Amino acid sequence: MNIPSLASLSLAELQNLMQTWGLPAFRAKQLLDWRNKGILDLGAMKNIPNQVKATLEEHIQTQPLKLVSRQKSTDGTRKYLFALQRENQSLKHIESVLIPDENRGTVCISSQAGCVLDCPFCHTGTQKFEGNLTAAEIIAQVLAVKADLLDDPMMDELHNQVSHIVYMGMGEPLANEVEVFKSLDLLMDEAYLNLSRRRITVSTSGLVPQIERLGLDSPVNLAISLHSAINEQRNVLVPINQKHDLTSLRKCLNTYPLAKSRHITLEYVMLKGVNDTEESLQTLIKFVNPERERVNLIRFNTYPGSEFQGSATNVTDEFAKSLISKGIRATVRRSRGDDIMAACGQLKTAKTG
């Protein structure tokens, strides 16, 4: 029997469960007020009577994740290692990242333990795939970060500024479509974190049917791990391209619903001698729809055993200038947390092989 998780229950669902357990329905609102602050530990909920807590401990899962470790980068980025709290299963681990900025905090969350894809330049891709996360486990990453900030007197002001969520951690979000869509609904629920869809970004390597369904169900910001506009090259760098090639991806991106003044982000990791050539540049210029898309050039973040090298800074800068000269919005992403292996493409849990 599946035990309901506090992290993924709506107010109406919890009120109904309260009745089933013989508890007052108004306790549901009290519980969710704590949860929405990031507090899932019943012991910390001061206005919940002990007898209510005892009933809840018997019937509900309160903490889907256990914090194993936290690392702090010199630039303020925090990386979290969590163990999944699942019964009758060997512990699986995931990583999440907090990227603090002035007046905002972005949480980069994982949707899978490991990854089903084998993109050769990504450290996560070298980790064995161990399974999809539930909506509760996805949402709990955000709650755990909020709780961590609340406990830190130096960071508690940022607690209420956890304002942006990016599905750019471990895994391919749209390969876990059902649970990711559930988690999106919860993040945007007025009775939960009430985040605007403009503040949520789902990054995908290009699963075309799932992108189309995302556009119909929850048209949040979309980022595409493009990395090459040459089919043969992308077949190697992003192997899912062998199933959903650039032609089908182009048609899909042309119809993805966009809010006013919003753009799809095309992510492009700059790899020395691979996709930073003049041919790569000219093919990318032809692929991009400037009215609907912008290009985010990403410096390659190395990891032990990698066969790739990042493009030189001047090459990346010139690449960006060339795109801009053609009327394409282009930026170079600043790496955050690379000293603790928390930057783009570096996540891989130390607890696995």
* Residue numbers annotated as active site: 95, 344
Give the position of tokens 């508890």: 23
Token pair for residue 82?
């969590």
Asked if 261 and 227 touch (Cβ cutoff 8 Å), the reply is no
3-class secondary structure, 285: helix
The residue assigned the tokens 């509760």 is 136
Residues 6+ apart with CB under 8 A from 108: 96, 97, 98, 99, 166, 168, 169
CA 299 vs CA 98, 107, 135, 293: distances in Å: 19, 20, 31, 19
Amino acid, res. 151: D
Residue pair 60/52 in contact (Cβ under 8 Å)? The answer is no
Distance separating alpha carbons of residues 144 and 82, to the nearest angstrom: 9
Residue in 198, 173, 194, 189 with CA at minimum distance from that of residue 257: 198
**DSSP assignment string, 165-201:** EEE-SSS-GGGGHHHHHHHHHHHH-TTTT---GGGEE
Q: Helix, strand or coil for residue 298?
A: strand
Burial classification of residue 350, based on how many CB atoms lie within 10 Å of its CB (0-12 exposed, 13-18 middle, 19 or more buried) = exposed
Distance CA 4, CA 13 (A): 10
